[in-house]
Amino acid sequence: MTTTGVYRYVDSKAELVELMVDAAIGDPPTLSGADWQQQCRSWTSELADRYAEHPWLCEVAPKRMPTQPRAYAWIDAFVGAVAEQADVDALRLALLLDSLVRTYASLEVGLRGATPAPWLSEAVAARFPRLASAADQDVSDARLELDFAVEAVLRGVEPTDLRRTGTARTR
């Protein structure tokens, strides 16, 4: 089949990419964990695994609500597990964790084989002294950094009535 021949089956490149993403993400896992926080960690880890298996997913930026069923199945699995156990806005939490997975998966792809220029840490320390100690901190394992970010989010999640009002608190 030629490259253009595929367009007999799909209307556009965007539709083709959506179908490819749907196939790569696959069906959601059965979430494991004793409580809702463990199930959040499980969901996030499983989604990060899918991104690791298909690094090209990082190049696909969401531009609208999904049109394929598996994206909804993942969100539904998360919302179902979390909403049954906790009084948190599970949908918004799922979207936040999804964005963390996308960000750290992109970082993981970018870090593969990348070594910073030898002069970089010295230049950063000279220009941004508050960041001088950051050069000593190893942040090269994107999965560990994702785990840290998820833990930070889960520590900050509190029961909320956002589901009822549909609005966020203002400052």
Digit-coded pLDDT (tens) for 77-96: 999 999 888 888 899 999 99
The string of pLDDT tens digits covering residues 109-162 is 888 877 778 888 888 889 998 888 776 777 778 999 999 999 999 998 766 644
DSSP for residue 35? S
Proportion of the chain above pLDDT 90, given as a percent:
47
Rounded-to-integer distance, Cα 65 and Cα 23, Å:
17
- At residue 95, what is the residue type? L
* Predicted confidence band of residue 4 (pLDDT cuts 50, 70, 90): confident
Smallest CA-to-CA distance from 145 within 103, 93, 99 is with: 103
Most confident of 11-20, 58-67, 114-123, 145-154: 145-154
Cα-Cα-Cα-Cα torsion 133, 139, 145, 149, nearest 10 degrees, comes to: 20
Rounded-to-integer distance, Cα 149 and Cα 37, Å:
13
